[in-house]
A and B are shown apart, each in its own frame.
Chain A
Amino acid sequence: MTQESSHTMNATTAPTTGRPLLEVTDLEVSFHTQNGIVNAVRGVSFSLNAGESLAIVGESGSGKSTSATAIIDLLPGTGKVTGGSIRLDGTELVGISRAEMEAIRGSQIGYVPQDPMSNLNPVWNIGFQVMETLLANGIAKSRKEAEAKAIQVLQDAGLPDAGKRLRQYPHQFSGGMRQRALIGIGLSSQPKLLIADEPTSALDVTVQRVILDHLNTLTRELGTSVIFITHDLGLAAERAEKLVVMYRGQVVESGPSREILANPLHPYTQRLVAAAPSLASRRMQAVKSHENVAIAAPTAALDLTLIERAEQREEAATAASPIISLRDVTKQYKIRTGGFKTELFTAVDKVSFDVHPGTTTAIVGESGSGKSTIAKMVLKLEDVTAGNVLVDGTDVTAIRSAKDVLAFRRRVQPVFQDPYGTLDPLYNIAQTIAEPLVVHGVGTAKERTARVRELLDQVSLPVSTMSRYPNELSGGQRQRIAVARALALKPDVLVLDEAVSALDVLVQGQILNLLTELQSEMGLSYLFITHDLAVVRLVADSVCVMKSGQIVESATTDEVFDSPREQYTKDLLAAIPGAGIELGA
């Protein structure tokens, strides 16, 4: 197979006492809530040998994080282990005293948390936070020794200038640097086991790749066993030898990663594999093989329509003039650089591209690339510093009168990223979807209600949703409402700003499917802003890759994926987790 398997060989030759390093048996965890006791983890069992790596995969709420935090007794809130056993090197961890657990944490089991922004204490410098770990675990005996070792730890974690960095505070570090510091802290006492809870999901893909590679090297050198908690099947398969798939608090499938990916047996795993953009969409034709999956994943249907639609769109794209056209668009902000000085920061630098009617153009870039600023300018929510934004031949930047702005708003509508922020919590769903109709004076109250029903039907939500409030709906359902609201005025263009990024992969597949259907029914044009190249493959006809405010590469989706010209594009493609994994038939 690939290079990962050699890694397995090394691990199995590591000295073991004949039993697994970690054995979790029939673990039960429950939470005490207002609505009674919730069993978050039910009968979970898995084991891990010394030097091995294992990934627990599942959607949010599947119990994957809960299972992992139960191992080091860090369950949040009212969480409690109510049954089963957790053995580390043969020693039972369930029910041991606080002091005993304190002795195990750090020195025997290390932990790397998810969000680098909130996991370092903002009031202490980095050196202090590394040194206290070393002192608490007896790795260093004096402050002086601790300081020398702390520098070593940070250096090993890949932070240059570690000596100087010791005196710096977390807010002076970038996200990637903080995550390196946290990895350094987690490994500083050379634990036998490292639990990495979504260690890079808050970071850009290229940073993510570098950090995971580094983590890999470090743990292999030290012979540390690793448990990854992740929602990303591609990442799990790429980084771990063993896979544990969790669904609704239970393990539905576990075993060697490659085998599970190539031959998923449980219908849930099959769904996951089919929906994972990084895996399933390797090639559109290849995905056809999933048609025969017993419980059809929604994306299987999507893939078929995709191919049909792609053919139609290609014809359309060449025929008509662009619906949206950006010409040398530049956006500059004044930023304060300390004191009274300000500096001009160019967020978007002479960007030009077209969106053809009935097609999808994706803008891909990492955080700070300027992609969201483009979305705001196309929506006329931000003014353009220089250049023109043309919608159907009309220069949007020149529109001034309230009437003309209103007319423009009917044609271009947004869907935003955060499903929890996109709907006013005090408006019920009917009010939310009807708001654009009210504002634009469309129809009578009765007609508007009829239109709301129609729109709900279009986004496949029951009519009973009308009287509900956003907090009663899931993230995916909220995004459907946001789509329905955007469609209320029958626009030509939807600007989808990371519209599916915050969703679990199955839900994401469902929404992408919906968007594709709507596009073909109504001939909509999409401007699809995302950081996730894998998703682009599923939905876009052409792609613009952005970096530091500029478009570095712009081509059709197939061209970008099959023969990227720019190194940056190649890096981005290589950074898609699981990109290198070949799926079996």
Chain B
Amino acid sequence: MAWYFFRRVLQMIPVFIGATFLIYFMVFALPGDPVLAMFGDKTPSPAIVAELRAQYNLDKPFIVQYLLYLGGLFTFDFGTSFSGRPVSDLLASAFPITFKLAMLAIAFEAIAGIAIGLFAGLRKGKLFDASALVVSLLLISVPTFVIGFVLQYVFAVQLGWVNATVGQGAPLKDLILPAIVLASVSFAYIVRLTRTSVSDNLGADYVRTATAKGLSRGRVVRVHVLRNSLIPVVTFLGTDIGALMVGAIVTEGIFNIKGVGGTVYQAIIRGEGPTVVSFVAVMVIIFMVANLLVDLLYALLDPRIRYAK
């Protein structure tokens, strides 16, 4: 297990360096003035331009610029936002809110997705299964922001059950609807994945053997079918964190949540390029770290990984 963890961290280092380099390269090494390009149609004040040039060391060779940026990342210096505030300051207030929202979303998509996927897999070809498939396909087809508008309109505006926007401090009850919106697409994927995985595992030899041993149907399903079906679902959760981040930008924008996603959303809308770039870089880093954690969870679930040399 320790060896596995060590190896995963080791593998992550070049990926981390490569990915941050890619982002940095895309922003600063492409033709044109990167600082001006960040502002799009708007004209920034010369002071901000000068500060950005200094911050990104644009006077130095490209590779030095990147190394200085990378060094900054390790000291939690993520750059400066459009308004001149350090990104790390903005993060400190925004991250906890997004974390809370993301945890709610993951809890929802995992619990509901696995439960519905399990029932659909056990009743493959029946009405419940068919409806679960149709609903999941629909959820994947409709963009998150449309689901967001519609749910916001129906539950907040029409029915008045919840607030249309999230209030100060992001109380939990305000976050429930945004979390459902955020989780919707991933929920659909988890339903489909669990269903396939469960129906595959139902046909596995070890499940037949477990039945032959005299175990009850319920125990066979819980201990052998479900447990084994969770392995691909956990792997999916790893890559899904990336989708959740994109979703967070959209969802937090719609519900006016002042989290990481909301900040990026506002920055994009206002054309504040530096803020966007800095925040997205941080999101990529979070994505990688989260993936590492999911890999550990995966190892806990699958002894073949855990004991691999």
B-binding residues in A (CB < 8 A) = 72, 74, 76-77, 98-99, 102-107, 110-111, 113, 115, 118-125, 132-133, 136-137, 169, 171-172, 182, 185-186, 189, 336-339
Stretch in B213-221, B246-254, B270-278, B285-293 touching the partner = B213-221
Q: Are B307 and A121 in contact (CB under 8 A)?
A: no
Please determine whether A111 and B307 come into contact, CB atoms closer than 8 angstroms. Answer: no
Binds A, one of B55-63, B173-181, B296-304: B296-304
Give min CB distance, A333 to chain B, whole Å: 16
Interface residues of B in 189-211 (CB under 8 A from A): 203-211
Closest to A107 in B: B214
20 contacts between A and B (CB under 8 A): A74-B208, A74-B211, A76-B208, A99-B216, A104-B214, A106-B214, A120-B209, A121-B224, A122-B228, A122-B304, A123-B303, A132-B215, A136-B213, A136-B214, A136-B215, A137-B213, A171-B307, A185-B209, A185-B213, A338-B309
B170: Cβ under 8 A from any A Cβ: no
Interface string of B224-254 (1 = CB under 8 A from A): 1001100100000000000000000000000
Contact flags B10-50 to A (C-beta < 8 A → 1, else 0): 00000000000000000000000000000000000000000
Q: Are A120 and B206 in contact (CB under 8 A)?
A: yes
Residues of B within 8 Å of A115, CB to CB, are: 205
Which of B214, B217, B224, B301 is close to A133, meaning CB atoms less than 8 Å apart? Answer: B214
- In the complex, how many angstroms separate the beta carbon of B166 from the nearest chain A beta carbon? 40
Top 5 A-B residue pairs of the complex, sorted by shortest distance between their CB atoms: A106-B214, A338-B309, A111-B212, A118-B205, A105-B214
User: How many residues of B are counted as interface, with CB atoms below 8 angstroms from the partner's CB atoms?
Assistant: 28
Q: How far is the CA of A157 from the CA of B219 in the complex (A)?
A: 25
Q: Are B206 and A118 in contact (CB under 8 A)?
A: yes
B277 CB → nearest A CB, Å: 38
Q: Which chain B residues border A104 with CB–CB below 8 Å?
A: 214
Bound form: Cα–Cα A171–B203 in Å:
20
Cα separation A189 to B214 with both chains bound (whole Å): 10
Q: Are A102 and B215 in contact (CB under 8 A)?
A: yes
A188 shortest CB reach to chain B, Å: 8
Q: Tell me whether A337 and B304 are in contact in the complex, defined as CB-CB below 8 angstroms, given that A74-B211, A98-B217 are known contacts.
A: no
The listed residue (B209, B227, B228) touching A111 by CB distance below 8 A is B209
A313 CB to closest chain B CB (Å) equals 45
Residues of B within 8 A of A122 (CB): 206, 228, 302-304
Shortest distance from the beta carbon of B81 to any chain A beta carbon, whole Å: 44
Q: Is the beta-carbon distance between A123 and B228 smaller than 8 angstroms?
A: yes
Closest residue of B by beta carbon distance from A185: B213
Could you tell me the distance between the alpha carbons of A408 and B211 in the complex, rounded to whole angstroms?
Answer: 54
Is there an interface contact between B212 and A125, defined as CB atoms closer than 8 Å?
Answer: no
CA distance A169 to B207 in the complex (A): 16
Task: Kindly identify which residue among A99, A119, A339 contacts B206, using a CB–CB cutoff of 8 Å.
Answer: A119
**Inside 8 A of B107's CB, which chain A residues have their CB?**
none
- Taking CB atoms, residues of chain A closer than 8 Å to B231 are 123
Check if B135 is an interface residue, CB within 8 A of chain A: no
- The reply to whether the CB of B76 lies closer than 8 angstroms to some CB of chain A is no
For the residues of A in contact with B, the DSSP-based class is loop
**Is B154 part of the binding interface, using a Cβ–Cβ cutoff of 8 Å?**
no
Query: How far, in angstroms, from A136 to B220 measured CA to CA in the complex?
Result: 11
Known: A98-B217, A133-B214. A169 touches B204 (CB 8 A): no
| Closest chain A residue to B301, Cβ basis | A123
| Complex contacts, B207 vs chain A, CB 8 Å | 121
**Docked pose: A72 CA to B309 CA in angstroms:** 40
Name the distance in Å between A288's Cβ and chain B's nearest Cβ: 43
Q: Which of A169, A337, A338 contacts B303 (CB 8 A)?
A: A169
Beyond A74-B212, A77-B203, A102-B214, 4 extra complex contacts between A and B, CB < 8 Å: A123-B303, A124-B223, A136-B215, A137-B214
- Report yes or no: A169 in contact with B304, Cβ–Cβ below 8 A: yes
In contact, A113 and B208 (Cβ under 8 angstroms): yes
* B299 CB → nearest A CB, Å: 11
How long is the Cα–Cα vector from A103 to B215 in the complex, in angstroms? Answer: 8
Which B-chain residue is minimally distant from A189 (CB atoms)? B214
Q: Is the CB of B217 within 8 A of A132?
A: no
Minimum Cβ distance to chain A for residue B201 (Å): 10
Enumerate chain A residues within 8 angstroms of B223, measured Cβ to Cβ.
Answer: 124, 132
Contacts of A119 in B (CB 8 A): 205-206, 208-209
Enumerate chain A residues within 8 angstroms of B3, measured Cβ to Cβ. Answer: 338-339
Q: Tell me whether A106 and B307 are in contact (CB under 8 A).
A: no
Which of A77, A106, A123 is the one whose CB lies under 8 Å from B212? A106
- CB of B214 within 8 A of CB of A336, answer no
Partner of B204, one of A103, A118, A338: A118
A111 to B217, CA, bound (A): 17
Report A339 CB to chain B, min CB distance, Å.
Answer: 7
Please judge, given known A-B contacts A133-B213, A136-B213, whether A171 and B304 are in contact too, CB under 8 Å. yes
Report how far A104 CA is from B210 CA in the complex, Å: 14
Provided the pairs A121-B224, A336-B309, A339-B3 are in contact, do residues A72 and B212 lie with their beta carbons within 8 angstroms? yes
A123 lies within 8 A of B213 (CB): no
**A171 with B204: CB separation less than 8 A:** no
CA of A5 to CA of B204 in the docked complex: distance in angstroms?
A: 39
CB distance from A116 to the nearest CB of B (A): 10
Instruction: Please report the C-alpha to C-alpha distance between residue A336 and residue B7 in the assembled complex, in whole angstroms.
Output: 14
Per the bound structure, the CA–CA distance linking A104 and B214 in Å amounts to 7
The interface residues of chain A lying within 8 Å CB-to-CB of B213 are 105-106, 111, 132-133, 136-137, 185
Tell me the smallest distance from the CB of A527 to a CB of chain B, in Å.
35
Known: A169-B303, A169-B304. A121 touches B215 (CB 8 A): no
Of all chain B residues, the one with the shortest Cβ separation from A125 is: B303
- Is the pair A76, B203 in contact by a Cβ cutoff of 8 Å? yes
Shortest A337–chain B CB gap in Å is 7
Q: Are B205 and A113 interface neighbours, CB within 8 A?
A: yes
Residues of A within 8 A of B227 (CB): 121, 123-124
Residues of A within 8 A of B215 (CB): 102, 106, 132-133, 136
In the complex, chain A residues whose CB is within 8 Å of the CB of B301: 123
Neighbouring A residues of B302 by C-beta, 8 Å? 122-123
Knowing A118-B204, A121-B224, the reply to whether A169 touches B212 (Cβ < 8 A) is: no
Residues of A within 8 A of B219 (CB): 132, 136
Residues of B within 8 A of A118 (CB): 204-206
Docked Cα-Cα span, A186 to B267, in Å, equals: 65
In the bound complex, CA of A106 to CA of B307 (Å): 31
Q: Are B307 and A172 within 8 A (Cβ)?
A: yes
A568 to chain B, nearest CB (A): 31
- Residue picked from B207, B211, B214, most chain A C-beta under 10 Å: B214
Give Cα distance in the complex from A579 to B13, angstroms: 60
Most buried by B among A76, A122, A172, A336: A122
Identity of the chain A residue whose Cβ is nearest the Cβ of B306 in the assembled complex: A169
Q: Is the CB of B212 within 8 A of A121?
A: no
Cβ distance A194 to chain B, nearest Cβ, rounded Å: 11
Chain A nearest CB: distance from B219 CB in Å? 7
The verdict on A169 contacting B307 (CB below 8 Å), with A123-B231, A132-B223, A133-B213 known, is: yes
Residues of B within 8 A of A124 (CB): 223-224, 227
Q: Which of B212, B215, B223 has the most CB of A within 10 A?
A: B212
Give min CB distance, A114 to chain B, whole Å: 8
List the B side residues contacting A77 at CB < 8 Å. Answer: 203
B214, closest chain A residue (CB): A106
Chain B residues with CB under 8 A of A121 = 206-207, 210, 224, 227-228
Q: Which of A169, A182, A339 contacts B209 (CB 8 A)?
A: A182
Known: A76-B203, A113-B208, A339-B3. A102 touches B217 (CB 8 A): yes
Shortest beta-carbon distance from B242 to chain A in Å: 27
Tell me whether A113 and B303 are in contact (CB under 8 A). no
Pairwise interchain contact A105-B307, C-beta atoms closer than 8 A: no
Nearest CB in chain B: distance from A381 CB, A = 28
Output the least CB separation between B229 and chain A (Å). Answer: 10
CA distance A189 to B215 in the complex (A): 12
State in angstroms the CA–CA spacing of A74 and B220 once bound together: 13
Alpha-carbon distance A375/B304, docked complex (angstroms): 32
Q: Give the distance to chain A from B11, nearest Cβ to Cβ, in Å.
A: 13
A93 to chain B, nearest CB (A): 14
| CB pair B214 A113 closer than 8 Å | no
Q: How many Å lie between the Cα of A244 and that of B264 in the bound state?
A: 74
